[in-house]
Amino acid sequence: MVERASLPIGLWGAMGLLATLLFMQQVGLQWPAASAGPTGLGQVIFFYSVLPRAAVALLAGAALALAGLLLQRILRNPLAEPSTLGISAGAQLAMATATIHAPLLMEYSPGLVAFVGGIAAVALILSLTWRRGLEPVSVVLAGMMVALTANAASAALILANGEYLFSLFIWGGGSLVQQSWYPALTIAWRLVFGFAAAVLLLRPLAILGLDDASARNLGVSLHATRFLIIALAVWMATTVAAEIGIIGFVGLAAPALAALSGARSLKQKLVAAPVIGAILLWLTDGLVQLASGPGGERIPTGAATALLGGPLLLWLLPRLRMFEWPSLAASTSSGRRVSRPWVLVILIGIGALVAAVVGLLVGKGPAGWSIASGTVMTDLAQWRAPRIAVAAAAGGLLGAAGVVIQRVTSNPLASPEVLGVGTGAGAGLAAVLLLAGMPGLAWQLTGSAIGALAVLAAILILGARGNLGPERLLFAGIALNALCSAVLTAVIALGNVQSYVLLRWLSGSTSEAGAVHALVGFAALLVLSTPLLVLGRWLEVLPLGDATARALGLPVRAARTTLVVIAALASAFAAMFVGPLSFIGLIAPHLARLLGLGRARQHLVGSILLGALLMIVSDWLSRMAAFPYQLPVGLFASLLGGPYLIYLLGKGVQRHG
Amino acid sequence: MSVQRLCRPRDGLDGLVALPTRRDFLALAAALLTSSAASASATRVAAIDWGMLETALAIGVVPVAATELIQFRKIAVEPAVPEDVADLGLRGTPNYELLRIVAPDLILISGFYEYQRASLERIAPVSSLPVYEAGRPPYPLAEASMLALGDRLGRAADAARYVAETRDEIEARRGALKHVATRPAFIISLGDSRHFRAFGADSMFGDVLERLGIVNAWTDGTSYSAAAPVGLEALARVPDASIVMVAPLPPEVRRTLPANALWNALPAVREGRVAVLDPINHFGGLPSARRLARLLAGAFAPQAGNG
């Protein structure tokens, strides 16, 4: 998957040596107690805590790397791994649900629960992208969206069931603390089985790395083999998830690093990737232990791997070879155009207004459904109006950002969520919370803005190296999204007051919206969408391709940069108000296009209004569905968008034209 | 449902029309009116914070509304919350609309919920009495805030009595435990079968433990009352300490903890010095402190627990 060997094997030797030294230091700390303890307790700690922890680090690292390698090979997708495919999120949702609703199941077989969740997530993603031939970008995007929806649902469950918060926090962080050999043995025999199966399937695996036609000609029973290997990889990954929690990035980075280190054939990679994965996780865990104090570990190992792995992934990106797949950079001509587009835009606007009025008047009270009027209405309006306004503004901002990103990248599956700007805002918020304890709203907003802009800057710098091609832009966003999510997971895993603030933000709530929020939201919408309307020609021309755009006298690079900055700011503002909501930024532009709004300015305004409409409906549902308990808006935005996404992907967005 | 019916304003809470359950609604409106008429002089309180909910109930003030009552009845248990207290939903995102309809005269929060103050103050005055502050033992603060709440709600005598009773009860239990509970103790809650949360000196659990004359075995730092997550091997640092676990225990623990080699090797486990207490509110007020004292006494000296 990589162009050239550039990492000497010596580097891995050095890292392995460092990990060994860290381990020896732990041994040195524990050994005196182990050899001289009067109670035998020191011995037990040494043999059942220090040693199995090292074993689990090595085994889990190897298992995740092997799972990642198999998934990447079989899907021919260098970004496939348990977290990008939503396997971890699916396992987490299944385990959270089982903990609360079927504790017996969790008591006896957490591994099975995790496997069912993981395999369900993969099955969903594969069925969504089947007709697109499991195209890498589609698979990863579908994975991201399945993960977002599952995470929103998990967050809702966790928030509503305070008694298990702590357990789920720990699990989400991924801790390697051990007190028996059971997890090590469980992972070990799955790893042995997985490795043996991979060796036996060496030939079909090698062939499946080619394209489908060659594979079929060579007589490989395509689907059966594929599913078998995918199930094997999911089994290994979810076993690790069930035994120690979420460990990100090892599955992604280890195979790529193996290739960068000179492993060329599949046989070499099957050995090199697990070895590198084992070293990576062992070293990370050694560093985590080195930094830990008497009050426990400051960073859970799972989150630490993401902190180390994220930058690694970004460094890898420019070195990743582009895919054999036909480029996604296709013109985005729409099927049909309506004869009077602006009438349609006005109708959508009226629809949004009607939704707002219904949201303002209809609601549940202590005695069931009611329609407010008179003084009660004016009274309740001071609560409902700001929420509706903030939801509408956020939806509009996402709709605008979606149109810009889809047009700039010429990628029908791009969306502001993909840029990672929303989770970047979350990482900024997390940083401010960690530094200042309980900062005021202004500081929280500042932190979010800085986080969002930092992510944006990173994308621009990375993208500039790769000449900002559509795929690289998306992958940079996906990588940053995963990195920022890991930061959020790490902070949430601390389980303190700040964790609750982040969890609340993550689940997306318009609950605290006041008049100020509404004003800021609408000001942002106005300030950011006006230049887009003025620059409508850029949006019109860019999807035609760079050559055409240049021929038409467009300053291509400057235009792209300007538009991306505006889109990122819009996503950042939306995220600040309603969390890193998924789907609206993807769906609103598509709906607008499907309704027949093809030209840039109509498309933009239509998408803004549709985004607002969708968010108003989501907000209302979140308030009503479990009254008086309020559910996360993000969950409903996802649930409204999910079925549409299935429709869209199932229909098969055309690759060309 | 006819259009006229949808739009016709009702008397009572005028303008709010119940669609499917109009009769229930009228009954409720009537109930709200009579209850407020009956105790016209009393302040109608709503509690966002669970500790304040406990405190109010303990001094004989039944709030008109409080948060997450389903969880409260499972986890905090005491004092019992009457069925007619309106449930405002999650503590993190209370239902402001419902709170507005309930229209309390005073809203009780704590430092956790300061971010809600702006929204809450649009409904009624907000009172935030400090109990949990980093590095400070919470018991004296809980006493002070109960007395302050009593003053504010015209229940000063009840508050003073409850504070004195609680103090006496803890003193009595301390006496009963004097020769029974001689070892230090960890007071923890389990996250999974490998990790726990340790309650330190600035937690109500740790403070009550000390007041009962039991040395808290967790002497290291805490982050806001507790240190978490900590690996179980930390329990080996004080080999002669007992271990007190506060429920609820995660479901898998019942199967995995007995298979945990390190857990089984801990002196406390080998010698049967482990107790599991029923759930107690981690961030409670005096009623939680009292519940903890009773449960702890029961665990250490079964005969003393009934007293």
Quick: pLDDT tens for B257-268.
Answer: 888 888 988 889
> Which phi and psi (to 5°) does residue B151 adopt?
-55, -50
Give φ, ψ of A412 to 5 degrees: -65, -10
Spacing of C-alpha A48 from chain mean position: 35
In which region does residue B170 sit, left (phi positive, over 0), alpha (psi from -120 to 50) or beta (all else)? alpha
Residues in chain A with pLDDT values less than 50 = 1-5, 322-334, 653-657
Nearest partner of A205 among A297, A71, A31, judged by Cα:
A71
Residue B300: give its domain's CATH number.
3.40.50.1980
Decide if B301 is inside a domain: yes
Q: What is the pLDDT of residue A295?
A: 61
Residue B143 included in any domain: no
Q: Does A512 touch chain B (CB under 8 A)?
A: yes
Which site among B50, B233, B264, B282 would you substitute to test the A interface, given the most A Cβ atoms closer than 10 Å to its Cβ? Answer: B233
Angle between the A110-129 and A87-101 helix axes, to the nearest 10 degrees? 130
Check residue A332 and give its pLDDT.
Answer: 40
Contacts of B7 in chain A (CB under 8 A): 371, 373
At A352 the pLDDT is 94
The confidence band for B2, taking pLDDT boundaries of 50, 70 and 90, is very low
User: What distance in Å separates residue A474's CA from the closest CA in chain B?
Assistant: 34
Domain annotation covers residue B74: no
Q: How far is A159 from chain B (nearest CA, A)?
A: 8
Phi, psi torsion values for A512, nearest 5 degrees: -90, 10
* pTM of the shown model: 0.81
Give tens-digit pLDDT for B226-258: 777 788 888 888 888 999 999 888 888 888 888
Instruction: Give the C-alpha separation, A194 to A197, whole Å.
Output: 5
**CATH assignment of A10-293+306-316, given 3.30.70.1400, 1.10.10.10, 3.40.640.10, 1.10.3470.10?**
1.10.3470.10
The answer to the question of residue B109 being in a domain is: no
pLDDT over threshold 80, residue B276: yes
ipTM over 0.85: no
Contacts 24+ apart (CB under 8 A), B138-142: B138/B202, B138/B203, B138/B204, B138/B207, B138/B225, B139/B204, B139/B207, B139/B208, B139/B211, B139/B289, B142/B51, B142/B55, B142/B204, B142/B285, B142/B286, B142/B289
* Average pLDDT along chain B: 83
Task: Find tokens 């950042």 and name the residue.
Answer: A572
Top-confidence residue, B182 or B38:
B182
Cβ pair B252:A497 closer than 8 A: no
Residue B70 lies in a domain: no
Per residue in A352-373, pLDDT tens? 999 999 998 888 877 778 887 7
Does any domain span residue B103? no
**What pLDDT is recorded for position B25?**
47
Residue B5: pLDDT band by 50, 70, 90 thresholds? very low
The pLDDT of residue B302 is 64
Task: Please tell us whether the domain made up of A341-651 is placed in CATH 1.20.1740.10.
Answer: no
Closest CB to A514 among B29, B119, B236: B119
Task: Answer yes or no: are the C-beta atoms of A33 and A46 closer than 8 Å.
Answer: yes
In a domain, residue B146? The reply is: no
pLDDT of residue B50: 93
Mutate to test the interface with B, among A104, A105, A179 (most CBs of B within 10 A): A179
Interface residue A170 vs chain B (CB under 8 A): yes
Range(s) of the domain holding residue B277: 181-305
Q: Is the pLDDT of residue B304 over 50?
A: no
Tokens representing residue B91 in the block? 């503590």
Domain-located, residue B56? no
Segment B165-212, tens digit of pLDDT: 999 999 999 998 888 878 999 999 988 888 888 898 889 999 999 999
Beta bridge pairs of residue B275: B244
SS3 content of chain B, % helix, strand, coil (to 5): 45, 15, 40
The total domain count for chain B is 1
The ranges assigned to domains in chain A are 10-293+306-316, 341-651
Which of the two residues, A409 and B148, has the higher pLDDT score?
A: B148
Q: Which tokens go with B82?
A: 């009457």
Map tokens 């857990």 to a residue.
Answer: B263
Amino acid making up residue A647 = Y
